[in-house]
Amino acid sequence: GAVVSQHPSRVICKSGTSVKIECRSLDFQATTMFWYRQFPKQSLMLMATSNEGSKATYEQGVEKDKFLINHASLTLSTLTVTSAHPEDSSFYICSARASVGEVGQYFGPGTRLTVT
């Protein structure tokens, strides 16, 4: 149980375009989903937290107008990187928390974004 999927697994886009990444909880309802970014050889950096049906809470230094997060249902959250630039190239990982009483997070397989 507790499977989280992400799509796409890898995407290459041109500078200035937008990219949407989907995160789905396959066998449970995720009350809370998290979006992380990880640069090579660095730790996970939490970008934002989203609860179903409400606005995402962004971490300090993360531009909410650039990284649009939508958590429209208990099984789907999306991250849209708008007007992507080469410095946005990174490994984007979502995770989900199964319920209010569950504090462990289950991670999706990640999306490797390359902006050329």
Tally the C-alpha atoms within 13 A of residue 67's C-alpha that lie toward its C-beta. 22
* # residues contacting another protein (CB under 8 A): 21
Q: Does 100 bind another protein (CB under 8 A)?
A: yes
Angstrom distance (rounded) from CA 23 to CA 111: 10
Pick the stretch among 17-25, 62-70, 76-84, 99-107 that binds another protein (CB under 8 A): 99-107
Question: How many C-beta neighbours within 10 Å does residue 114 have?
Answer: 13
Q: Does 97 bind another protein (CB under 8 A)?
A: yes
Question: How many C-beta neighbours within 10 Å does residue 85 have?
Answer: 11
Pick the stretch among 13-21, 22-30, 70-78, 100-108 that binds another protein (CB under 8 A): 100-108
Q: What is the CA radius of gyration of the chain?
A: 13
- Give the nearest distance from C-beta 69 to another protein in angstroms: 15
Q: Which residues pair with residue 13 across a beta bridge?
A: 115
Give the nearer residue to another protein in terms of CB position, either 8 or 16: 8
- Six-digit token string for 113: 């974004």
Q: Does 49 bind another protein (CB under 8 A)?
A: yes
Residues within the interface to another protein (CB under 8 A): 31-32, 42-44, 46, 49, 51, 91, 93, 97, 100-101, 103-110
